[in-house]
Structure 1
Amino acid sequence: MYLKHLLATWALLLSIILASAQQTFTINGVVKDSSAVPLDVATIAIVTKNGSGLAFTNTNQQGIFSCKLQTNDNSLSIKVTAIGYEQKIVPISSYTSQPYTIILKKKVNLLKEVKVTSLKKVSLVSDTLIYNVKAFKEQNDRVIADLIGRLPGIKIDDKGAISYNGKPISKVYLDGDNLLDGRYKLATNNVPVNAVEQVQVIERDQPIKALNGYTVTNNVALNLKLTDSARAITINTGHAGIGNSAYSGEFNNMFFKSKNKSINNLKANNIGENLEHENADVGVSLNNETILKKAAPFLSITSSELPSLDEKYYLMNNDFAGNINTLLKLKSDWTLRMNVATLQLKRRYNFNNSVNYFLNRDTVRYTEIQNHLHRLNQWQIQSQIEKNSNAIYVKSLTKLDLPTWKKNGSTIQNDQELTQNLPTQYLSVSNETVIIKALGINNILQYNGLTQYYKLDERLETSPGLHENIINNNKSYFFLAQQTQTKNTFIHQTISFKTKFNKFILSTAIGLSYNSNLLTSNLYKTDSLHVTSVVGDRFKNDIIFNNLGLLGKASATYLLKKGVITAEVTPTFNFIDYNSKTNFIDKKNRYFSLNPSIDFRKNLGRYSEINFRYLKQTTFGEVEDIYPGSILVNYRQFNFNETPLPITKNNSANVRFSYRKPLAMLFYNLNLGYDKTQQNFINSFEIDNGLTKSTAINFNNTAKKYSLGGNISKYLYFASLNISANANTSLQRGFNFYNDEILPFNIKSIAATLTARKKIFNKITVSVSGELSRFINEQSTVNGKTVNTTNIEKLKSTWQHQLNQKLSYNVTYNFTLYKQQLQQPMHNIFLDMNVKYAPTKWKSFFELQCLNLITQKVYKQINSTSNQLFIFDIPLRARTFLLKYSFTF
């Protein structure tokens, strides 16, 4: 019955599409400036009387454009826009092959309410905001990330991810070219600030030319417009540093030709700079339909908790990273891109944990002392061929990922000592193919294909044997080994058809998604005579899991005068089967889900915008959610499942209001969110001293979350002061299941941050950032309600002083305070200093870095939940001095 309705929907949409066929016309012309020089940067749109776009294109290097359209409307016009020129609208007199010659005048902005000095800092052209690098650059800026983090309206977090007015950045282009996709830290952390002329924010980033006019995007991207000198030479930068048991080295090679761009680097250090983040994919796209699967590791040897502290203070590392990233522009709009990366990491972790579970009838406590060594050998290779033209778009992206981890160390839990070893091998290979073909003027045919295979092998070894009462009938034994292997094949294929007429864009699609998982696991014990045997069938898994989804998609987009509304539905039939001869399982499941969504965006005046999004989605568990045999996931926890196939239904709604007045450098936004999650299972935990048993069981589980947040950023010209603030609060409601008791809980949180940066006498810069957070965890019990409250206070201040043209220094102070109602307050203080000497007319400089000058030895942190108190302390790196020589040639 559902299939009949789905086919009827597709037939109706196709009939509407075919009924909209009209006569085809071609509009030709050339765009020049007032000096008769052709413009290759102009955007051409064929618009109706009310401004709605019917067809779009761009001029080529000779300023020539050609645009086809199907219409019976006799009141159309050619709308021409180009950065730095006045917009021009030319009425179409008749639909003939006679070319149009359009002359654009250079634009001069005269704004009464803004001082003319603001034009030197920022400008706004259509949906692109342009920051002038020279206006924001400071003498100690080295790479472009140093400057981007200070721009009003833009923020960089601790992982290097960039956001603009609260929206995440999807990509960072180099002169319009996508060299790195979401791994844009390789650009922002390595491109010299002197090589960039402008930082451009593209608010409606839609780089696929064939989709112009057929899709409405909400992605935000940055474009680094390079200087003429940077395009003409090869840039080599780097540094070498040595100190007290410390070293750091780096070499970067970059060239940015019009047809060839490349960023290549080598880095190594032992000063706590985590190069594992060097290749991290930090870009966030809001329009991705399908993403690669990621293997979920089953086993671990360390606590999942990490300190909320800059890694340079505690990470004991020896890291090496290398990258080669090249983009070649070929003929006929083709480009070829290669990205190769390697990581060779070695780091030591030493920390102590104290964990308290506050249960209805008891309090369970245990302590851990962990000392581990982790090694990583990883290779990543990506190759992409792409054609991006108005008539056709083709992309084939192949990825290979080969990380190998070796983790080992010793652990003491409740005075019991053990050693651990966890080697992990992973392989992932995938290909993504996209083909988009224009059919006439108003129709688009699109194919999306994704194929991936990955394999994960893990083996956790512990000595001496653990949990004798569970494993070996209360008898001691020598050695325990948990082994798991997962293999996964993922295929996702869709074909879609898009059409547009008047103010509507219609799309319909059909496809399939296939996911096949295989999980095998077993637990082995070795007795005192060194005889190895399996523990038993209840610790064994041999599961084959298959999920075949037949999916359709229908969407309708209505273009408002200054906005858009999109309604979409993705009906899906899922055929989910899994079986295991070992565990006597043979399940067949059939499900239908509609998965509707609606998006609304409207400009309220020139500077503000409101967005609304509602989404209802159903997702299903995979092999890691249904295995019945127990797995020793770490030395203190067993996991298994006693539930049917997990089903999660999520309803989410989000309203966002944003305001940006770029020339006045004022940005703010407000977000209101609601999430409701319904699941047919709950994780039941049995907690004993040092041992946790986690079981997924059948239960009607509902959780809700309400959130409210916003931020503001403003540059005060009269005071040379940059200020920003953000605040958010949330309420989460759900259930915990511990030691055979289901208990409702509430988690309330509120956090606020204020940052100010001020220039004094043009030589001194002072920045101060303060943060206040409060977490209130409430849990209902038979004896009433228990409340667990934690307060966190943070302060960071920096003093930068340029003594003269050659010598400068900066001092940074960090303070953190944790206050929990059941514990004594814990505070942490750090003081760092940098001194820089740059000889006149040199392209190089010397720098002395001084870290942890007051020599704090241990960092302490408190985390709490509705029924858990987690006290974490970790030894810190000793006071470190590093003398660096940085060079450019």
Structure 2
Amino acid sequence: MNNSRKIFFFLISIFVVFAGYSQTEISGQVFDDNSKKLSGATIMISKDSISSILAYGISDSDGRFQVSVKTESESLFLKVSYIGFGTFEKTVQNKSQQLEVKLLPSSEALKEVLVKSEILQQRGDTLSFSVDAFKDKNDRVIADILKKLPGIDIRPNGQIFYKDEPIQKYYIEGLDLLEGRYNLANNNLSADAVSKVEILENHQPVKVLDSLEFSERASINIKLKKDITVSGTATAGIGAAPLLWQTKITPMIFNKKRQALVTYQSNNTGSDVSREIRDFSIRLFGDEFTIDKTDWLSIQNVAEPPFSQERWLDNNVHLGSANILQRIKEDMDLKLNISYLNDYQQQDGKTQTRYFTPTDTIDVIENTNNELYLSTLQGKLTLENNADKNYFKNQLEFNGFWNANRGLIDRPDSQIKQQLENPFFGIKNNLRLLRTVGKQLITFNSNTGYTKTNQELLVQPGQFEAIFNGGDPYEEIQQLVSAKKWFTDNSAGFTKALGRFTISPKFGFSIQNQQLDTDIFLGEGDEVLDADFKNRTEFVESSVYFKNSFRFKSKDETWNLNLSTPLAFKSFDLEDDNFEEKRNLDRLIFEPRFSVDKKLSAFWEVDASAGLSYKFAEIQQLYYGFLLNGYRNLNRYNAPISEEQQQSYRGGLAYRNPLKQLFLNASYSYSFTENNLLYSSNIGENGTTILEAVILDNSSNTHSFRGGGSKYFRKLKTTFKLNASYNLSQRQQLLNNTLAEVNTKSFSLRGSVDAEISSWLIANYSGNFSTYTSGFEKSDFQQIETHQHVIDLYFYPKDNQYLSVSGEYYGNSLSENGDNYFVNLGYQFTFEKPKMDLNISWRNILNTDQFSNAYNNQYYYVESSYRLRPSQVLATLKFTL
């Protein structure tokens, strides 16, 4: 603890010293020959006329600019350019000064600068990408454009990252219609309706905090071509075999006062429409209490293949969603986001699991057939007033799930049936208020919610005979779980600016009450009366806290420092009426965190952070009695409340050159964790696992390296992206009563190329190579390599039609049949009047019916085969609304 504080405050001292280093500031104003102020002029500074650029800036709406540069050169070369004007060049002394720049008209300069402006423009912290510059003939929706933009990365689940960090907001014409469910717009908004994609760097969504709280995250704003935009898509498709259908209609309207996006989708073609309502909202720091679904029980699943669901998902899905925003008055919006999903899925596969213990290896072979019934209703009702001097947001959110699963497992010596009823309901209200009072900003937050679930797992025949039935076989076992939770978290504070510093103290309290009742029944409903197999648990967590943050922003806005010093008194009370046991824990905790962001030049930026945090057990790790989580997993935590302390450190370097459309980033992070409990896994010969908590101090550490880059080659009309990561971790594990140190190493390299090779050929490639190695202490027991390569070719014999050919390869080093190949063909004809696409696709031409895959994790590895969809043909008509 003392060492961590010394390191923490030593880092603060280093950055404060660096903050005092001086820089040269070149500022001034740009005019044309008629003394009109020029907004958007590009100012570049280098050592001389042939050296690389040291710094650059953009003039504001008044033609003013300010560029900071740090160099030992005695002189600087200044270059100012603007569309349609001759370039201004001048050598100046390396000292802070103000200049007046006058540009003269020039038709020659117009041609060169205009080409670059058609691709990308910058205004302060806003980068504007022209959609038309990146759009190909086969691009239909805005997601097709976003995946090509340098600096942007769209992950397989649809989440958008900028410079390896998730975006915090997705706006359409400056309005947050979708509240984190932006896949609905990404996959349905026509690219023809969009003029620009804006990247809002260091974006502060709350206007009143814009000059007070520095934001490290970026947001995206979609700029439309028309003030009133009616857009969307409609799709109807049919195919075989078996009989296939696909229906989708997504109308949308956008104007200055109203936005609406409505969708209905249905298919049995393997398209996972649930991804479109996935919520990627970034939670506020300290927002610990949520109404996310908790799965206490589960059936044994098959590992899903790591590629497009259309290859393997056997589904029958219906989705309806309505998203409506109404501007009530200036800066005040009322929003409704609601969706209902109903899906039936089938899974069929084979799994071989091998467990490695310090003394033995254990193999489990399972043939699995599952039926999943999913029914979900989710919604948000939001009233938000985001004004320059005041902010108000009240959001009522609810989640309802009515899921049921059926599973059948064939093992060499038995057949096991599983039935799971898994309903869940949650509701919460979140209120945030910021109001200007004098020279202070008063803040108030309130988060209150309630969740409930009653889950039931039935397994036939019964398992764990030695524990439940004296070693004799028995007919069935039934696990019942009833869990409730209510919580409230309320705080008040203020924010005040003191010159370049901002302080934000906040006082608050929180209470969370959780109740857990579990029972086990055998045979014809006979309850297991032994106290070891039931729970009557109540867990109350309360906290009184004082959180303070200090922020500093330098005059030239190149330095941003943040120091938070939260202090909290936490109290935990656990009581179990069944065991007549009580556990109590009171702790005064201090969780400081320091971060700094420094703009070294117009292109280079560095950041670093260090923090200390504590984590205490949730009720999922606190019950005394055994709980049958799955047919071969029996858990209990008969131990004190777990306490975890973590030190974390991170440093990053980023390069962003909009003029060359080049983005690079690299980072290193380290975490060290100490825990008072260790979890013991006892693995039986048939793969049954009993998990229990053991009182034993232990530690773990993790090193992570990440790097990536993207570049757009304008002349080649090609976007190239490459990302790499390496992780190394060490932790302790109790396996079959033997203490062992488990080491893991992983490496991943993924890249993509999107190229318009000629007017008749477009090519896309994406690939991923990864390795994962795990072992005990100095000996590795398993290493796996995986490869994924996908290439798509689009041939255009005419502008209104194309032929597509795609090939896919997936392989791993562990499976005997680890090589998997797929080939697909497609043809599309575009009708101009009415505007629609006729698409005929032949998927899985090779009729590959099984996918073999393998993965490992800490002390076991799993080799699986998954039954795929057969070769099939699908014809669809897609209309652009």
TM-score by length of 1: 0.86
Aligned counterpart, 1:348: 346
Structure 1: distance between partners of 2:231 and 2:756? 31
- What code does the residue aligned with 2:455 have? E
Q: Is the 8 A contact 1:573 1:591 kept in 2?
A: yes
- Give deviations 1:467-497, integer Å, cap 9, x for gaps: 3222122333322110001101111111111
Q: Is the 8 A contact 1:488 1:518 kept in 2?
A: yes
- Give deviations 1:212-246, integer Å, cap 9, x for gaps: 21211112110000111xx4353352010000021
**Among 667, 670, 673, which residue is 1:674 paired with?**
670
Aligned counterpart, 2:849: 857
- Deviation larger for 481-490 or 271-280: 271-280
Aligned counterpart, 1:203: 201
Say whether residues 1:828 and 2:820 are aligned partners. yes
Say whether residues 1:789 and 2:783 are aligned partners. yes
Aligned counterpart, 1:844: 836
**Among 719, 726, 749, which residue is 1:752 paired with?**
749
Within-5 A mapping of 1:798-809: 798-809=792-803
Q: Is the 8 A contact 1:84 1:107 kept in 2?
A: no
Aligned counterpart, 1:624: 620
Within-5 A mapping of 1:141-290: 141-228=139-226, 231-244=227-240, 245-284=243-282, 289-290=287-288
Q: Is the 8 A contact 1:725 1:752 kept in 2?
A: yes
Aligned counterpart, 1:57: none
Say whether residues 1:661 and 2:657 are aligned partners. yes
TM-score by length of 2: 0.86
Deviation at 1:369, TM superposition (A): 1.2
Say whether residues 1:615 and 2:611 are aligned partners. yes
Structure 2: distance between partners of 1:312 and 1:687? 36
- Give deviations 1:166-213, integer Å, cap 9, x for gaps: 221112101000101211111111111111110000012112222221
Aligned counterpart, 2:709: 712
- Residues 863/724 of structure 1: CA separation in 2 closer, same or farther (3 Å cut): same
Structure 1: distance between partners of 2:292 and 2:413? 37
Q: Is the 8 A contact 2:190 2:880 kept in 1?
A: no
**Among 875, 880, 883, which residue is 2:867 paired with?**
875
Within-5 A mapping of 1:425-440: 425-440=423-438
Deviation at 1:740, TM superposition (A): 0.4
Within-5 A mapping of 1:599-614: 599-614=595-610
- Residues 869/888 of structure 1: CA separation in 2 closer, same or farther (3 Å cut): closer
- Deviation larger for 377-386 or 543-552: 377-386
Structure 1: segments with no counterpart, 5+ residues: 1-32, 43-80, 90-104
Deviation at 1:107, TM superposition (A): 7.8
Find the residue that maps to 2:117 and give its secondary structure. helix
Aligned counterpart, 2:541: 547
Structure 2: distance between partners of 1:841 and 1:366? 60
Aligned counterpart, 1:568: 564
Aligned counterpart, 2:13: none
Structure 1: distance between partners of 2:758 and 2:462? 67
Structure 2: distance between partners of 1:192 and 1:349? 34
Aligned counterpart, 1:518: 515
Q: Is the 8 A contact 2:773 2:780 kept in 1?
A: no
- Give deviations 1:112-148, integer Å, cap 9, x for gaps: 9986422111111100000001111112111101111
Within-5 A mapping of 1:256-655: 256-284=254-282, 289-290=287-288, 292-303=290-301, 305-440=303-438, 442-526=439-523, 530=524, 532-560=526-554, 561=556, 562-655=558-651
Find the residue that maps to 1:491 and give its secondary structure. strand
Deviation at 1:838, TM superposition (A): 0.7
Q: Is the 8 A contact 1:184 1:283 kept in 2?
A: no
**Among 120, 123, 137, which residue is 2:135 paired with?**
137
Deviation at 1:794, TM superposition (A): 2.1
- Give deviations 1:853-872, integer Å, cap 9, x for gaps: 11111001111234312101
Structure 2: distance between partners of 1:236 and 1:702? 53
The percentage of counterpart residues that share the same residue type is 23
Aligned counterpart, 1:734: 731
Structure 1: distance between partners of 2:525 and 2:126? 70
Say whether residues 1:776 and 2:773 are aligned partners. yes
Structure 1: distance between partners of 2:230 and 2:431? 33
Q: Is the 8 A contact 2:302 2:864 kept in 1?
A: no
Find the residue that maps to 1:330 and give its secondary structure. strand
Structure 1: distance between partners of 2:764 and 2:497? 51
Q: Is the 8 A contact 1:805 1:840 kept in 2?
A: no
Deviation at 1:718, TM superposition (A): 3.5
- How many residue pairs match? The answer is 793
Find the residue that maps to 1:826 and give its secondary structure. coil
Q: Is the 8 A contact 1:434 1:447 kept in 2?
A: yes
Aligned counterpart, 1:76: none
- Give deviations 1:293-329, integer Å, cap 9, x for gaps: 5343111002374332221111100011111100011
Q: Is the 8 A contact 1:218 1:287 kept in 2?
A: no
Structure 2: distance between partners of 1:109 and 1:476? 89
Q: Is the 8 A contact 1:168 1:283 kept in 2?
A: no
Structure 2: segments with no counterpart, 5+ residues: 1-31, 41-57, 67-80, 90-108
Structure 2: distance between partners of 1:381 and 1:191? 21
Q: Is the 8 A contact 1:85 1:106 kept in 2?
A: no
Q: Is the 8 A contact 1:537 1:629 kept in 2?
A: yes
Q: Is the 8 A contact 1:458 1:484 kept in 2?
A: yes
- Residues 866/532 of structure 1: CA separation in 2 closer, same or farther (3 Å cut): closer
Structure 2: distance between partners of 1:132 and 1:576? 54
Find the residue that maps to 1:434 and give its secondary structure. strand
Q: Is the 8 A contact 2:465 2:474 kept in 1?
A: yes
Deviation at 1:290, TM superposition (A): 4.7
- Residues 886/541 of structure 1: CA separation in 2 closer, same or farther (3 Å cut): same
- Residues 824/122 of structure 1: CA separation in 2 closer, same or farther (3 Å cut): same
**Among 761, 765, 775, which residue is 1:764 paired with?**
761
- Residues 106/260 of structure 1: CA separation in 2 closer, same or farther (3 Å cut): farther
- What code does the residue aligned with 2:848 have? Q
Q: Is the 8 A contact 1:175 1:223 kept in 2?
A: yes
Q: Is the 8 A contact 1:85 1:107 kept in 2?
A: no
Find the residue that maps to 1:838 and give its secondary structure. strand
- Residues 109/832 of structure 1: CA separation in 2 closer, same or farther (3 Å cut): farther
Find the residue that maps to 1:810 and give its secondary structure. strand
Deviation at 1:262, TM superposition (A): 0.5
Deviation at 1:154, TM superposition (A): 1.0
Find the residue that maps to 2:132 and give its secondary structure. helix
**Among 875, 880, 886, which residue is 2:878 paired with?**
886
Deviation at 1:288, TM superposition (A): 6.5
Aligned counterpart, 2:63: 86
- What code does the residue aligned with 2:530 have? G
Say whether residues 1:683 and 2:679 are aligned partners. yes
Root-mean-square deviation over aligned CA pairs: 2.6
Q: Is the 8 A contact 2:565 2:593 kept in 1?
A: yes
Deviation at 1:607, TM superposition (A): 1.1
- What code does the residue aligned with 1:240 have? A
